[in-house]
Structure 1
Amino acid sequence: MRIVRLANFVTTHSGGLRTALRNLGEGYQSAGHEAVLIVPGRERSDKMTSQGRVITLPSAPLPRTGGYRVMTGRRELTELLDELEPDRLEVSDRTSLRWTGGWARNRGVASVMVSHESLAGLLGVWGVPKRDALADKFNLRTAEFFDQIICTTSFAAAEFRRLGVPNLIEVPLGVDLDGFHPARYDEAVRERYARPGELLIAFASRLSSQKRPELAVDTIAALRNDKVPAVLAVAGDGVRRAALAYRAARLPVRFTGHISDRSAVAALLASADVVLAPGPVETFGMTALEALACGTPVVVNETSALPEVVGDGGVGVPGTPEGFAEGVRRLMERPEADRRAAARARAEHFGWPQAVDGFLRAHGALPEVALAGRQRPVAVLRPAVPRPAGPMA
């Protein structure tokens, strides 16, 4: 079966979405399917990779987004989709690529939309008035255009569930349990950022307003004010970098920039005492899960989906410097062996094989016999919404 996947907002520096696309594609290939991924980029390319065929279409950058590009040429993309003749279509952008659900409907191709974010939450971050009503209207239209809607957490699914959307499936994503492992702890990495007796806190994310990186910096200030010898390593880059550096000028904060080597990221996460995930609208939080896999507990924003992801491997707190500082203290009160074991144990609930199975089930591309004896993801399967023919929108 040929599964063609479309995704915008993917760059060489993007984290969670890029990681998810790669692992799902590799899983599809391993299951005997043909995976094709179409993404925006600086110039056109077409290459075979471990996740299948990856086609890059020249696309214009979006200003002030840290390098994100968006495929906007409908004619070019339509011609490419017609040429590829997919058996299944999987879309990871419900804004600028929603129209492809209409393309699939008109050609009799089964389609899946993956909701990687809470639209109502994002609208709230951007200060859009009447965000719930606007999100409801948009989400209903999206559900009508696609055979299945996949959400990775109950948090992300809530805005569809409240509308009674019947074609909704919950499938948790996964984490690389081998690449991100407590064995990645490296004393040399720890010494690079913290002196003996200091508490090493890490924040690894794109430096954009959506991720609330300033809260990580302010947490260090709150801890230092309470005489806690905490230091912060910030791994990532983005439009907020200069403002954050100014904000952290008098604090023990070190900016590493973007780290492309995943083993180096794993070493940092494993060598830290605590990892912070302050984003208020995170719907899964790949970095938080990678930290747990490394045996490092995480403090997360209680308004996001992350409390349900991290479980007892971390704590959810109010999105304030004082709240996050208290979360750090609570975690550090636990014996080190206990808190690290709890973090790793929680991550082990989220393997990529289970996630791949869940996505393939949504595509109707995984024979039930192949599931015998395998752990299935938590998924609620409901009949798809009947979709009348009509123009693409």
Structure 2
Amino acid sequence: MRIVQLANAYSPTSGGLRTVVDALGRGYMAAGHERVLVIPGQRHSREEGESGLVVTLPSLPVSGGYRMIPRFSPVKDLLEELQPDSVEVSDKATLAAAGPWARERGVGAVLISHERLDAVAAARFPHAWAASHRALQPALHRRSRRLAMRFDAIVVASAFAGREFDGYGGLLREIPLGVDLDTFRPCRVPSPERSEVPRGTGEHPWQLVYSGRLSIEKNPIAAIAAVKALVADNLPVHLDIYGSGTQRQQLERFAADLPVTFHGHMSDRVELAERIAAADVVIAPGPAETFGLTVLESLACGTPVVTADTGGAGELLAAGAGLTAACTGEDMARAVAGILAWPEAERRAAARRRAEQFPWSATVASMLDVHVSLAARERNLSRLKRRGLRRRRIG
């Protein structure tokens, strides 16, 4: 089966979306299917490699350092050439036109919903949302349902994400994402300073981590505000921030004189995993996460997490593996302090145990079930149509 994946906002720094698309693509190929990836780039290119055929199409830069294919026509021409058995779309903008294209040609079409439109709007424009959400929220839900009707199946990663499509009568599948349990794993051997110097002291403060995009909808300022509150309570902590984004300068000003270090985007995932594993708590304050890959990766490292009490990330937590909190510095600080009071071995074991319930193999198997069933359905419909035409001609 040939599966074509279409994704906008796919870049070296696009974090979760790229991780998901790549992990699924590798899984499809490992299962014996052909995978083609179509993404935005500065120019047209084709490259065949271990991950299958990767096609970049000319695109426009948009906010956050991402790029978007502005028109569907070149994608349509490419799809006509590729003749896929199934199309997987990771975009709710220009590439969503692949749904109607596939339906007209008897090809299965799946939309993966990576973000919930109303939650993103509320996180990016909190003041405007507070003033107008009663009118905007129903309108955005109607838009989401109309979008969903263009596809044969919608895939969401959490119950929170699925509520965007309340009232949609088609095939809605909740398929949790996965984690690379080999890359993201607990520290094998504690460093000398970890084992010899008591933590929670001025010499060796508790190590906190924020990993993600530095943008308003991810709410990184709450992680820094939590540090400020913890320092005010005389709890020695240090926050390492891994990520880049439009808010970096503002956050650096806010963090002045606080024990916070900005490291920028870290492309080496092995090194990032090691640093997360060495931390005591990860703070993931994004209020609009439809899943929370950073949360799951942190749990896989044996590091408990404080996450927002809104969004879907809290669904990943289990007893002893972390806490949810309101998206304020004070509430996040209280949750961090609460986790640090738990026995370390127990909280690290609980975190890893929870992550082990989410291998990528399970996600890939569930996605392939969707693709294969849609492709089989379309083949059956095509045969029935041909039979109907023959009967009419005979008659």
With normalisation by structure 1, the TM-score equals 0.88
Cα distance in structure 1, aligned partners of 2:15 and 2:192: 25
Cα distance in structure 2, aligned partners of 1:134 and 1:242: 34
Deviation at residue 95 of structure 1 after TM alignment: 2.5
1:270 touches 1:296 (CA, 8 Å); kept in 2? yes
Residue 171, structure 1, aligned to residue 191, structure 2: no
Cα distance in structure 2, aligned partners of 1:314 and 1:34: 39
Q: Give the direction of change, closer, same or farther, for the CA distance of 1:109–1:259 in structure 2 (3 Å limit).
A: same
1:23 touches 1:51 (CA, 8 Å); kept in 2? no
1:322 to 314, 327, 330: 330
Deviation at residue 164 of structure 1 after TM alignment: 4.3
2:155 to 150, 154, 158: 150
Partner residue of 1:9?
A: 9
Q: Give the direction of change, closer, same or farther, for the CA distance of 1:100–1:185 in structure 2 (3 Å limit).
A: farther
Q: Superposed, which structure 2 residues align to 1:11-50 within 5 Å?
A: 11-50=11-50
Q: Give the direction of change, closer, same or farther, for the CA distance of 1:31–1:148 in structure 2 (3 Å limit).
A: same
2:202 touches 2:236 (CA, 8 Å); kept in 1? no
Deviation at residue 366 of structure 1 after TM alignment: 10
Q: Give the direction of change, closer, same or farther, for the CA distance of 1:164–1:107 in structure 2 (3 Å limit).
A: closer
Q: Superposed, which structure 2 residues align to 1:74-85 within 5 Å?
A: 74-85=72-83
Partner residue of 2:253?
A: 246
Q: Which moved more, 1:43-52 or 1:208-217?
A: 43-52
2:72 touches 2:95 (CA, 8 Å); kept in 1? no
Higher relative contact order (CA 8 A, sep 6+): 1
1:216 touches 1:276 (CA, 8 Å); kept in 2? yes
Deviation at residue 43 of structure 1 after TM alignment: 2.5
Q: Give the direction of change, closer, same or farther, for the CA distance of 1:282–1:230 in structure 2 (3 Å limit).
A: same
1:2 touches 1:33 (CA, 8 Å); kept in 2? yes
SS where residue 308 of structure 1 aligns?
helix
2:187 touches 2:278 (CA, 8 Å); kept in 1? no
Cα distance in structure 2, aligned partners of 1:199 and 1:131: 42
Cα distance in structure 2, aligned partners of 1:45 and 1:298: 40
Q: 2:167 corresponds to which letter in structure 1?
A: L
Cα distance in structure 1, aligned partners of 2:341 and 2:249: 34
Q: 1:198 corresponds to which letter in structure 2?
A: P
1:236 to 239, 243, 246: 243
Q: Superposed, which structure 2 residues align to 1:56-135 within 5 Å?
A: 56-62=56-62, 65-125=63-123, 126=125, 127-128=128-129, 129=132, 130-135=135-140
* Residue deviations 1:217-237 (CA, integer Å, cap 9, x gap): 111001000101011000011
Cα distance in structure 1, aligned partners of 2:202 and 2:270: 22
Cα distance in structure 1, aligned partners of 2:57 and 2:225: 40
2:207 touches 2:280 (CA, 8 Å); kept in 1? yes
* Residue deviations 1:117-159 (CA, integer Å, cap 9, x gap): 1111112223353232122211111121000000011110012
Cα distance in structure 1, aligned partners of 2:193 and 2:358: 27
Cα distance in structure 2, aligned partners of 1:45 and 1:185: 44
SS where residue 256 of structure 2 aligns?
coil
Q: Which moved more, 1:266-275 or 1:114-123?
A: 114-123
Cα distance in structure 2, aligned partners of 1:278 and 1:211: 7
Partner residue of 1:376?
A: none
- Larger of the two Rg values belongs to structure: 2
SS where residue 362 of structure 1 aligns?
helix
Q: Which runs of 5+ in 2 are unaligned?
A: 377-395
Q: 2:302 corresponds to which letter in structure 1?
A: G
Larger helix share, 1 or 2: 2
Q: 2:80 corresponds to which letter in structure 1?
A: D
Q: Give the direction of change, closer, same or farther, for the CA distance of 1:266–1:14 in structure 2 (3 Å limit).
A: same
What value does the CA root-mean-square deviation take over the aligned residues? 2.0
Q: Give the direction of change, closer, same or farther, for the CA distance of 1:185–1:56 in structure 2 (3 Å limit).
A: farther
Q: Which moved more, 1:165-174 or 1:269-278?
A: 165-174
Q: Give the direction of change, closer, same or farther, for the CA distance of 1:44–1:50 in structure 2 (3 Å limit).
A: same
* Residue deviations 1:244-294 (CA, integer Å, cap 9, x gap): 111111101100111110111101100000001000000111111100000
Q: Which runs of 5+ in 1 are unaligned?
A: 369-393
Residue 337, structure 1, aligned to residue 348, structure 2: no
Q: 1:364 corresponds to which letter in structure 2?
A: V
With normalisation by structure 2, the TM-score equals 0.88
Deviation at residue 52 of structure 1 after TM alignment: 2.1
Residue 268, structure 1, aligned to residue 268, structure 2: no
After TM superposition, the runs of 4+ consecutive aligned structure 1 residues lying more than 4 A away are: 188-191, 365-368
Residue 200, structure 1, aligned to residue 201, structure 2: no
Partner residue of 2:142?
A: 137
Cα distance in structure 2, aligned partners of 1:189 and 1:155: 41
Cα distance in structure 2, aligned partners of 1:241 and 1:184: 33
Q: 1:114 corresponds to which letter in structure 2?
A: I
Cα distance in structure 1, aligned partners of 2:358 and 2:49: 24
SS where residue 360 of structure 1 aligns?
helix
Q: Give the direction of change, closer, same or farther, for the CA distance of 1:9–1:302 in structure 2 (3 Å limit).
A: same
Deviation at residue 50 of structure 1 after TM alignment: 3.5
Deviation at residue 311 of structure 1 after TM alignment: 2.2
Q: 1:102 corresponds to which letter in structure 2?
A: P
Q: Kindly tell me the number of residue pairs found equivalent between the two proteins.
A: 363
